[in-house]
């Protein structure tokens, strides 16, 4: 489990197709403190550490990425897909006693949404996203979503489109400062919204 509070921005150092996709990610986490088998959310994707170490560029960890994960995420999405040098939002898994600063995030990406608008609002930027219809029903005003691993509050919803505000601090400590219209974004809907909708379906049946 995660909270959607990004704790580091890593850099993709290496990609290797070997059945599954193997990625090496440089990070600021001390290598000695990363356990084999640990879960780290990378742009909101829960991935398992299969190796870790320290090199000339600092600490790194390796993850294997299945074809199913590649198909559901933006890892191979054109210009914003994972390539050497790509920066990714990182979060280590939640431990008992940690502060729950965002919301409960599983790291299981439900699909992709697309940035369709960016407008300055004071010091912040209002982002407008378009979600697949099958996921839009789970997104509600003042509810939570995880976008590229970042816990964000929904401001408004208009059909399949919804808006969030990115404050300067978030833009500085995540990859949101370099986001652009047209970018595909990993979307995880709120777990609570998923179950409320499921109960509503049963009630209506």
* Domains in the chain: boundaries: 8-92, 111-204
The rounded distance, in Å, linking the Cα atoms of 3 and 5 is 5
- What pLDDT does 1 receive? 85
pLDDT per residue as tens digits for the range 148-181: 999 999 999 999 999 999 999 999 999 999 999 9
Q: Are 75 and 88 in contact (CB under 8 A)?
A: no
pTM of this structure: 0.92
Fold match flag (8-92 vs 111-204): yes
The rounded distance, in Å, linking the Cα atoms of 148 and 164 is 13
Per-residue pLDDT of the chain (205 residues; tens, 9 = 90+): 899 999 999 999 999 998 899 999 999 999 999 999 999 999 999 999 999 999 888 999 999 999 999 999 999 987 789 999 999 999 999 876 666 677 889 999 999 999 999 999 999 999 999 999 999 999 999 999 999 999 999 999 999 999 999 999 999 999 999 999 999 999 999 877 766 766 666 666 6
- What pLDDT does 21 receive? 96
First vs last C-alpha separation in the chain: 32
- What pLDDT does 205 receive? 62
User: What stretches of the chain show up as alpha helix (H) in DSSP?
Assistant: 67-72, 133-136, 168-173, 191-204
- What pLDDT does 204 receive? 63
- What pLDDT does 94 receive? 80
Helix, strand, coil percentages in the chain from 3-state DSSP, rounded to 5: 20, 45, 35
What is the architecture, at CATH level 2, of domain 8-92?
A: Beta Barrel (2.40)
DSSP 29: S
User: Which 3 state secondary structure label does DSSP give 15?
Assistant: strand
- What pLDDT does 36 receive? 97
pLDDT per residue as tens digits for the range 33-51: 999 999 999 999 999 999 9
Class of the CATH domain delimited by 111-204: mainly beta
């Amino acid at each position: 489990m995660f909270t959607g509070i990004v704790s580091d921005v890593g850099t993709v150092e290496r990609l290797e197709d070997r059945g599954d996709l193997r990625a090496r990610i440089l990070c600021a986490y001390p290598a000695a403190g990363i356990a084999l088998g640990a879960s780290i959310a990378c742009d909101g994707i829960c991935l398992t550490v299969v190796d870790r170490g320290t090199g000339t560029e600092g600490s790194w960890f390796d993850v294997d990425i299945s074809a199913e994960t590649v198909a559901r995420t933006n890892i191979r999405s054109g210009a914003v897909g994972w390539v050497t040098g790509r920066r990714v939002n990182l979060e280590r898994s939640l431990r008992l006693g940690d502060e729950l600063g965002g919301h409960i995030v599983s790291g299981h990406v439900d699909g992709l949404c697309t940035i369709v608008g960016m407008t300055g609002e004071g010091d912040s930027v209002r982002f407008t996203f378009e979600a697949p219809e099958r996921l839009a029903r789970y997104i509600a005003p003042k509810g939570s979503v995880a976008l590229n691993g970042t816990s964000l509050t929904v401001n408004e919803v208009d059909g399949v489109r919804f808006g969030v505000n990115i404050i300067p601090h978030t833009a500085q400590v995540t990859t949101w400062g370099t986001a652009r219209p047209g970018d595909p974004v990993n979307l995880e809907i709120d777990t609570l919204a998923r179950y409320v909708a499921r109960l509503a379906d049963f009630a209506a049946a």
